[in-house]
Amino acid sequence: MTTGPIAGTDLDGIDRRTLLKTVGGSALAVALAGCTELLQGEDDSLEDADVPDEPIESGLQTFTEGAPAVLGVQAQYGAETAVRRINENGGIAGREMNLDVVEEGGAYLVNYQQFVDEGKDVTFGPISSSGHAEMVPEIEEQGVVNVSTDGTVTTLYEEDFPDVTYSFRFQNHDVMEALAAVNQAVEVLGADEIDTYAGINPGYAFGQDEMELFSQGIEQLTGAEQVHSGFPDLGTDDMSTHITEINGEEPDVVFSSCWGGDATLLLEQGHANGMFDNIELLVGTVLYGSANDMSADLVDGPIYSGSRNFYWGEPSIDRWSPAAELVDEVQSEYGVVPTAHFMSGYGAVTAWATAAEKAVGLLGRWPEQEEIATILENHGFFTPAGYHTIGPDHQGYSNAHFGELTWSDERDAAALADVNVFSAESVSPPPGETSGDWIGSW
């Protein structure tokens, strides 16, 4: 670790005994949490388990080319880093892991079926919400566990597929980051100062879901009126029509869930057309996912961004040093600053790997697909981003981050300042309640 307390004594406000108990005490779980040295000299209760010798075969589909690759390649780096750490620390119950990566494109079902035909033990991805929704029935039919890295549309598990077995999601779903954006806007401007709002969001399921949830939330808290809502195509090369509309309406808040190349395009054309002189605030749930493609002039303005469940300075390295260690490792290995979409890949692999090893510890043998799926429900685990859970509803839950978009000379990349951390309970409904009903009850 680069800084922080001495390993094995106290870590990030969590003492050694608590961390070992929480992660199940296995070397792998602690290694993936970013605290390998904690278990030096510990007994390994998995040594006598009946586990095959051959490596675990896994597949990841993500965007590796085009504008979406700004996020997709981060997910690839994250998954590769998790697999590398798994193998460097003795594998999952002694089994090493191989990872094949394929371009997501529009080939979600073909990719998943190919992975199944190749005998993959587990599959990860996709990034796309539309692709994730398309895949769920096939995942349930084939019975090979898939942990989606993103694919975060809120209604997927709340309404469309409320009773699934093999399909899971690691990342926080849309309501969590849309409501984090609402809370951030209210904190910056004050509820009484927000009279109007507008939105520019990707023209597919994800963008429509995020805009609907943001609208419900901000209208409940402020009574604000929507004055424009535009949905440019994903990967568009022109947002000027929507920016012109916003300049004419001069709303107090603009909300955007644009990501990848669309996020940088929004900032470029927003600056070029004077949008930031006509609004009080832009809140973007995943603008920071494009941090490595931004320049200092693009982040200048009243711009706040979410960072899903990972930002290297939160929790503070005085309390939790694995995040800073990960940033140094990734910059050295890949030459980029890891964003939340790095954590999408890292966390999806970690969720499955720690659940599989937990199952071996309980069963004394390698588990079947349905047994790993059972363990994944209500599964809690650490990553360098902190603590995560997979709920009985198959949603991923962890803290949501939001802060002012700024520039870091130290990292030579976009950064976040004055980061707010929103607990999962504060931005997602209680178990058994839909997000829409919950927001409507405020």
Task: State pLDDT tens for residues 22-65.
Answer: 655 577 888 898 875 555 555 556 888 999 999 999 999 999 99
Closest by CA to 320, choosing from 3, 18, 26, is 3
pLDDT value at 10 more than 90: no
Alpha-carbon Rg for the chain, nearest whole angstrom, is 21
pLDDT at 3 (0 to 100)? 31
Interacting residues of 244 by C-beta distance below 8 A, sequence separation 6+ = 273
One-letter identity of residue 219: E
pLDDT at 24 (0 to 100)? 58
Interacting residues of 150 by C-beta distance below 8 A, sequence separation 6+ = 71, 75, 126, 127, 128, 129, 132, 169, 171, 341, 344
pLDDT at 2 (0 to 100)? 30
Q: How much is the average pLDDT of 390-397?
A: 96
Give the whole-angstrom CA distance, residue 386 versus residue 314.
9
Q: 410-414: long-range contacts at Cβ-Cβ below 8 A with a sequence spacing of 24 or more?
A: 411/327, 411/331, 411/337, 413/291, 413/292, 413/294, 413/336, 413/337, 414/288, 414/290, 414/291, 414/292, 414/294, 414/298, 414/299
Q: How much is the average pLDDT of 88-101?
A: 95
Q: How much is the average pLDDT of 215-227?
A: 98
Q: How much is the average pLDDT of 13-17?
A: 56
Q: What is the DSSP string of 160-227?
A: ISSS-SSEEE-SBPHHHHHHHHHHHHHHHH-GGG--EEEEE--SSHHHHHHHHHHHHHHHHHH--EEE
pLDDT at 306 (0 to 100)? 95
Q: pLDDT-derived band of residue 14, with 50, 70 and 90 as boundaries?
A: low
pLDDT value at 416 more than 80: yes
46-50, 118-122, 179-183, 335-339: segment of lowest average pLDDT: 46-50
| Mean per-residue pLDDT over the chain, rounded | 91
78-92, 303-317, 390-404: segment of lowest average pLDDT: 303-317
pLDDT at 16 (0 to 100)? 55
48: which 2 tokens? 């006598």
Q: How much is the average pLDDT of 225-234?
A: 96
219: which 2 tokens? 């209208």
pLDDT value at 341 more than 60: yes
Query: At 408, is the secondary structure helix, strand, or coil?
Result: strand
Q: How much is the average pLDDT of 1-11?
A: 36
pLDDT value at 114 more than 60: yes
Return the sign of the alpha-carbon dihedral for residues 148, 149, 151, 157.
Answer: positive
Which has more confidence, 10 or 187? Answer: 187
Percentage of the chain exceeding pLDDT 90: 81
Calculate the alpha carbon distances from 19 to 14, 344, 350 in Å: 6, 22, 16
pLDDT value at 232 more than 50: yes
Query: At 406, is the secondary structure helix, strand, or coil?
Result: strand
pLDDT at 12 (0 to 100)? 47
Q: How much is the average pLDDT of 321-350?
A: 94
22-26, 149-153, 318-322, 425-429: segment of lowest average pLDDT: 22-26
pLDDT at 361 (0 to 100)? 92
Query: What is the reported pTM?
Result: 0.91
67: which 2 tokens? 């504008």
Q: pLDDT-derived band of residue 312, with 50, 70 and 90 as boundaries?
A: confident
pLDDT at 5 (0 to 100)? 34
pLDDT at 363 (0 to 100)? 95
Strands across the sheet containing 253-256: 225-230, 196-200, 253-256, 281-284, 303-306, 400-408, 413-422
Among 6-15, 23-32, 65-74, 229-238, name the most confident range: 229-238
pLDDT at 301 (0 to 100)? 96
Where are any strands of DSSP class E within 204-309?
225-230, 253-256, 281-284, 303-306
Give the largest Cα separation in the chain, rounded.
70
Which residues pair with residue 98 across a beta bridge?
A: 57
pLDDT value at 15 more than 70: no
pLDDT value at 86 more than 50: yes
pLDDT value at 331 more than 80: yes
pLDDT at 37 (0 to 100)? 55
Q: How much is the average pLDDT of 104-120?
A: 96
Whether 120 contacts 113, CB under 8 Å: no
Query: At 342, is the secondary structure helix, strand, or coil?
Result: helix
Which has more confidence, 137 or 40? Answer: 137
